[in-house]
Structure 1
Amino acid sequence: MPQMPKNVIKGGKEDLTQVLKDPKLFRTDAYIDGKWTQSSDGNTFKVFNKATQAELGTVPDMSAADTRKAIDAAAAALPAWREQSAKSRQDLLTKLFISLQDNAEDLAKIIVAENGKSLTEAKGEIAYSNGFIEWFAAEATRTYGHTVPAPLPGVRNVVIKQPIGVCGLITPWNFPAAMITRKLGPALAAGCTVVIKAPAETPYSALAIIELAERVGVPKGVINVVTCNKGEREAAVGKELCENSTVRKISFTGSTRVGKILMSQCAGSLKKLSFELGGNAPFIVFGDADLDKAVDGAIAGKFRGSGQTCICANRIYVHESVYAEFASKLAAKVDKFKVGYGMDEGVTHGPLVNQAGVDKVSQHVEQSVKGGAQVLVGGKRGEGLFYEPTVLSDLPDKVPMDDEETFGPLAAIYKFSSEEEVLKKVNDVPVGLAGYFYSKDVARCWRFAEKLEVGMVGVNAAIISQAVVPFGGIKESGFGREGGRDGILEYLVDKLMVFGV
């Protein structure tokens, strides 16, 4: 079985500043109009180390009224920020990128503490996260317009791109740094100002990034961060961002259920939206696949972040001719995982972020086993928020993973016999974010990739997220794209100017 932690839960309080080279990166206040601030009513909430259950500190539990202040600050800062040259915004974002790189280790340690992933994974996230600032710094000067030949004489048509205005950025806890920079980078590069709603589970990464932004000279009011606890406050803050007419765009990463709520709340002011919502990613291994590469891909595509990513392989389909061999190899690799506190030596995987996540994985395993599935490795709860990385085989006809993301360390291996059969199964879901498959047949690679109903496909590859390519889904996985050439367009609007000459 994977090595699971024992006696890892310590409780009490943890002084995170003692492990940081720059203790000032650990900020415990929200940030509005260039000031580090508390909530207007003084309310706070606690944030815990997900592995040890030690209290890391508190942050303000802010309200809708506090959010309005942040929105007003962003609106006041907008005219001067959008009037800056694209080159000046590029230079400032480049300075921020350099500062983020210089503090990468500290930023990774903050992620380990508040999110739970291993230090190796956290460092990987910071490299990924910083890449968005670097990429969009360069894109700031490439927001080209164009001219259009007029059908009538004496007229000249010019189309320019302009910043949309104040943007609300609502980010999740699974990538505490990267989900912020993926939105913040293009927004700032385009000339927009922002209000960030930091996730309650992992607010300190957001605040550390803004500390560095302040140091490099981002003007007051351009970036604002609101922190709030789960429940009524979070709902009120989200509603204010969606219904306030000063906010002209919402970018949200999270569940499809919440995305639908936010979309309805935005309808009254007809905001521009970009939503990256839930998925149910298939991972298909054909009979002609390189099995060793496919197993490595399944490890990366399923167990990254202990399975808590929106593009994690949720359903692994393996051709009957190689099913037994693949399942055995995958289970053997998972069996070598070391699970524990991410700062401990050799740890490969951490805890889940909350109890609801643990309960969901447990329910999916229990219901599958009750129906006849076999546990090849794992299958049990650990201490606190830990759950054993698990591999299930011989799945019955109906299991929870068919229709629902597990969002945890559970690899469910289905069996299939034909390309037509598996294509029908993998597409028979209402979401379509990412999909992966392994095959050596070139014709099949093109054919199958085009027929998969997802926004992103990994062909003999399981790591597909990059700052330089578009990220997003179709169907109920959302709309809009982040990253790549088009990422900045989400924060710009076209303006047509027709000149009579």
Structure 2
Amino acid sequence: MPDAPASTAAPIAAQVDQLLQRLGVPKSAYADGELAVRSPISGETIALVRQTSSEEAKAAIGRAHAAHLAWRLVPGPRRGELVRLLGEELRAAKADLGLLVTLEVGKVPSEGAGEVQEMIDICDFAVGLSRQLYGLTIATERPEHRMMETWHPLGVVGVISAFNFPVAVWSWNAALALVCGDSVVWKPSEKTPLTALATHAIAQRALARFGDAPEGLLELLVGQRDIGEVLVDDPRVPVLSATGSTAMGRQVGPRLAARFARAILELGGNNAAIVTPSADLDLALRGIAFAAMGTAGQRCTTLRRLFVHDGIYDTLVPRLAKVYGQVKVGDPRAPGTLVGPLIDGAAFDGMQKALAESRAAGATVHGGERVAGIGGDGAYYVRPALVELPAHAGPALRETFAPILYVVRYSSFDQAIEWHNAVGAGLSSSIFTLDMREAERFMSCAGSDCGIANVNIGPSGAEIGGAFGGEKETGGGREAGSDAWKAYMRRATNTINYSTALPLAQGVTFDIGD
């Protein structure tokens, strides 16, 4: 299939301007600022965003702190009503916001719209959660006593999000934080501030409809790393959710720990899949293709390593190489495009460096070249790279945020599991097998060491119902579903004595007489 030609649609800057105006973003926020925003589709500058100063950031955190003190007194189901209204506003704006994601990030339209749908889904989840912030009643050894736990709002929740999911990650945190009684201060990636401005405008409409929410409940900080540091270091922010690279997490984590703040870290993911002799190869081929090439390899859950059994390697890998050679690369707005651009030149350079290291290590590289004739000089379209490595070593041991899939043969299942776990990150993983024993072992404590372990689907494409996050260098944080809400609240253990006696636990006596 030929690569997609450059789009003949209206200039992207003009489309972005129309979308932002429809979404309610004032032109002063993106027309004459200091931060240049470019679209990876064409490489052109599409906005000049006004940045938040350090003083403004501190003031915003102050407003959020004051808002929390009022918001925590609002009953949970009433807080859920605000999130329900946010979901309604997102539904109304889904087409425009999804297209804006495409223009600012370079995702194909179905992925842009899918990201907004994910925001809607987490709002639905959080509305139900607003009536289910349960604590436990606990058996006590003391007669005529009751012991229980209660959950209370924690405070200001800081959110630092990455470019590849410019709006969904905020919603995972904000929807839960709001129903838990917290306020939210958001610092989006400096590469994708436009979708954040639009989301903030949408949220303001929900707040206006709600009517009596305190000022400062949802705050937005736009800028570079220094603005994020203000959020990381402010003692009024007791919990911070940060999504990005492991290198970023190594800097953020210790600074939060130094002031005893909570960290919800969702960092790198050098994700792998194992294809066993019993696998449905047609299913595996489709699952691998999306997981490795979707979003141009720029998901934290992108499939980056593939272990294929000796017995099926020569059947599966040539088929996979054919798919890699035929997949349509191009302007994400063009019909049939499956792989859009890399975010910028730095991503392209990182990809080429990793491929050069692979060739030096004796690898066979299929694809990986820059695709000409699409976008301008500042746009970076590449053919996804399938890299057959002679051993699980070298560049395969680290994450390169680009569409590179390293393929390695394996002979024993034990060997495949060992290689699978032999990297720093521990986010997502998968196995393609029809053998129940292999599947169960992969999901057991002796199998994948990742936070997500899938069977017969790829590692990419999580749903909001499950807690999202991973282990080791991925940071250990969890967002979205299951009981991830507990990270946004503080727990109190309560004991109530309804007797006239005062028995102590563990048989301790302390008699002071009459």
1:448-463 pair list within 5 angstroms: 448-450=442-444, 451-462=447-458, 463=460
Q: What residue is the counterpart of 1:433 in the other structure?
A: 427
**2:56 matched residue in structure 1:** 66
Of 87, 91, 101, the residue aligned with 1:101 is 91
Residue 136 of structure 1 deviates from its aligned partner by 1.1
Q: Is the 8 A contact 2:87 2:119 kept in 1?
A: no
Query: 1:301, 1:312 within 8 Å by CA — same for their partners in 2?
Result: yes
In 2, the alpha carbon distance for the partners of 1:146 and 1:398 equals 47
Report SS of the residue matched to 1:413.
Answer: strand
1:493 and 2:477 are equivalent in the alignment: no
Matching residue's letter, 2:201? E
Q: 1:433 to 1:407 in 2, by over 3 A?
A: same
The amino acid of 1:165's aligned partner reads: G
**TM-score for both structures, normalised by structure 1:** 0.91
Where structure 2 has 5 or more consecutive residues not aligned to the other structure, the ranges are: 499-514
Deviation at 1:221, TM superposition (A): 0.5
* Aligned equivalents of 1:306, 1:423: Cα separation in 2: 27
Asked whether the equivalents of residues 21 and 27 of structure 2 are also in contact (C-alpha less than 8 Å), the reply is no
| Deviation by residue 1:111-142 (Cα, 9 ceiling, x = unmatched) | 01110111122112221232112211211111
* Aligned-residue offset at 1:70: 1.0
| 1:476 Cα deviation after fit | 1.3
Change (3 A) 1:212 1:408: same
Does the CA contact (< 8 Å) of 1:198 and 1:227 recur in 2? Answer: yes
Matched, 1:141 2:125: no
Give how far 1:487 is off.
1.8
Supply the distance in 1 between the matched residues of 2:117 and 2:11 (Cα, whole angstroms): 31
Q: Distance in 2 between matches of 1:263 and 1:18?
A: 37
- The 1:28–1:354 alpha-carbon spacing in structure 2 relative to 1, beyond 3 Å, is farther
Report the Cα offset of residue 104 of structure 1. Answer: 0.8
Are the equivalent residues in 1 in contact too, given 2:427–2:469 (CA < 8 A)?
Answer: yes
Q: Within 2, Cα distance between the matches of 1:61 and 1:19?
A: 21
1:164 to 130, 143, 154: 154
One-letter amino acid of the counterpart of residue 24, structure 1: L
Distance in 2 (CA, whole Å) between partners of 1:279 and 1:50 is 23
Name which of 218, 227, 235 aligns with 1:223.
218
SS in 1 for 2:311: coil
Aligned residues: 486
Do the aligned partners of 2:387 and 2:404 also contact (CA within 8 Å) in 1? no
Q: Distance in 2 between matches of 1:371 and 1:8?
A: 39
Contact 2:293–2:384 (8 Å) recurs in 1: no
CA distance in 2, matches of 1:397, 1:335: 23
Contact 1:318 1:413 in 2 (8 A): yes
Q: Does 1:237 find its partner at 2:231?
A: no
- Alpha carbons 2:164, 2:298 under 8 Å: kept: yes
Larger Rg: 2
Matched, 1:345 2:340: no
1:308 maps to 2:298: yes
1:47 CA drift (Å): 0.6
Matched, 1:446 2:440: yes
Matched, 1:180 2:140: no
Deviation at 1:13, TM superposition (A): 7.0
Query: Per-residue deviation at 1:29?
Result: 6.3
1:265 partnered with 2:261: no
Instruction: State the 1:289 CA deviation.
Output: 0.6
Once residues 176 and 471 of structure 1 are traced to their aligned partners in structure 2, the CA distance between those partners, rounded to angstroms, is 16
User: 1:22-171 counterparts in 2 under 5 A?
Assistant: 23-26=22-25, 44-171=34-161
Q: 1:329 and 1:303 mapped to 2: Cα distance?
A: 15
Q: Identify the range of structure 1 (237-246 vs 98-107) with the bigger mean alpha-carbon deviation.
A: 237-246
Alpha-carbon spacing, 1:13–1:377, altered in 2? closer, same or farther (3 Å): closer
Q: Could you tell me how far 1:321 is from its partner in structure 2? A: 1.3
Structure 1 letter corresponding to 2:14: D
Counterpart of 1:14 in structure 2 is 13
Opposite residue 345 of structure 1, the aligned amino acid is: P
Q: Percent identity?
A: 27
2-11 vs 482-491, which moves further: 2-11
8 Å CA contact 1:295, 1:330 repeated in 2: yes
Q: Alignment partner of 2:52: what SS?
A: coil
1:29-72 Cα shifts (integer Å, max 9, x gaps): 67xxxxxx99xxx9621111111122221222223322111100
Q: 2:511 aligns to what?
A: none
Hey, what does 2:311 align to over in structure 1? 321
* AA in 2 matched with 1:456: I
TM-score, normalised relative to structure 2 = 0.89
Distance 2:21 2:229 in 1: 36
Q: Secondary structure at the match of 1:51?
A: coil
Matched residue type, 2:475 = G
Cα 1:159–1:334 shift into 2, 3 Å = same
Greater Cα offset, 434-443 or 16-25: 16-25
